[in-house]
Amino acid sequence: MAQHTFFRGAKQVSVVALATLTLALAAGCASTPTDAIPSETGAWWGAATATPTPTATSTPTATPSPTASAPSAGTGSQPADPQTPAEPGATTPADPSAEPNADPSSEPTTAPTSTPTPKASNTADPGLPDATAVAKEAVRARALSRSGLISELEFRGYTTEQAEKAADACGADWNAEATEAAQGYVDSTAFSQQMLITQVTYDGFTTEQATYGVAHVEADWNAEAVEAAKQFSGGSPVPRADVVTYLGEQKFTADQAEHGADSLDYSGVEEEEEPAE
């Protein structure tokens, strides 16, 4: 009797479990997976109720979520939005009216405008006086070599060609100009004959012109040596040997250097040197 009652109860429980499982499957198909009837952990059929969870076929419904995000990451949606390119450079090509203004043909027009300027530097001012007359006036004012006169005319605005023609047409005697230049140096400071030739060549005269000019100056080279010795000592006691050395460096001859050194008073130098001995 007890065994019969047990089978009868088990049969009833099986019927209840089958009905519950049927309801669970029906609810899973009609609603989302989250609405499924939770299984009781204490029921003995709990293991069977766990099977509906893999039947959550509603997972394909999650596929629309990646499709919704795909357009945001896709490149096709970017050009469709006209405001997405925030860079100002991207809006300029879209404006057709801006392209005609950027015509590159307008840029080279500025380059040819600078070409006339070098031509103007090679052309003298038409308002300048005659170059030959100016050259004659410059030669009368002071002693000039040919190259010095050309530089003077160029400084006044004449071209090199005009200055050269004027220097050749002014009728200057370059030997006489060299003599005048040499005389001016001798009158201003002490020079030896050799150093005076060197100085005149610095002014642009040729070596022949400078030699001619120095040979025709009014100068006493011994007197020049005396003056050079006085300039070297400066009124202070100087050893005689130092004076002779200095005059030799200034290209005076040996006799001229001795003559210049003898013109100084060395008494003070001897008195200062005696205690040192």
Instruction: Please list the helix, strand and coil fractions of the chain in percent, rounded to the nearest 5, in that order.
Output: 70, 0, 30
Q: What integer pLDDT is reported at residue 24 of this predicted model?
A: 62
pTM of the predicted protein model: 0.53
Q: In 59-83, which positions are buried (b, 16+ CB within 10 angstroms) versus exposed (e)? A: eeeeeeeeeeeeeeeeeeeeeeeee
Architecture of domain 174-219: Orthogonal Bundle (1.10)
Do 243 and 233 contact (CB within 8 A), yes or no?
Answer: yes
**Both tokens assigned to 153:** 């005319």
Would you write out the chain's pLDDT as a tens digit for each of its 277 residues? 444 444 455 555 565 666 676 666 665 555 544 444 444 444 433 444 444 444 444 444 444 444 444 344 444 444 444 444 444 444 444 454 444 444 544 444 444 444 333 333 456 567 789 999 999 999 999 999 999 999 999 999 999 999 999 999 999 999 999 999 999 999 999 999 999 999 999 999 999 999 999 999 999 999 999 999 999 999 888 999 999 999 999 999 999 999 999 999 888 775 544 444 4
For residue 9, the model assigns a pLDDT of: 55
d(CA 153, CA 160): 8
Looking at residue 124, its pLDDT comes to 59
Burial of 165: CB neighbours in 10 Å, binned 0-12, 13-18, 19+: middle
**What pLDDT does 267 receive?**
85
CB 158 within 8 A of CB 170: no
Give the pLDDT of residue 37.
44
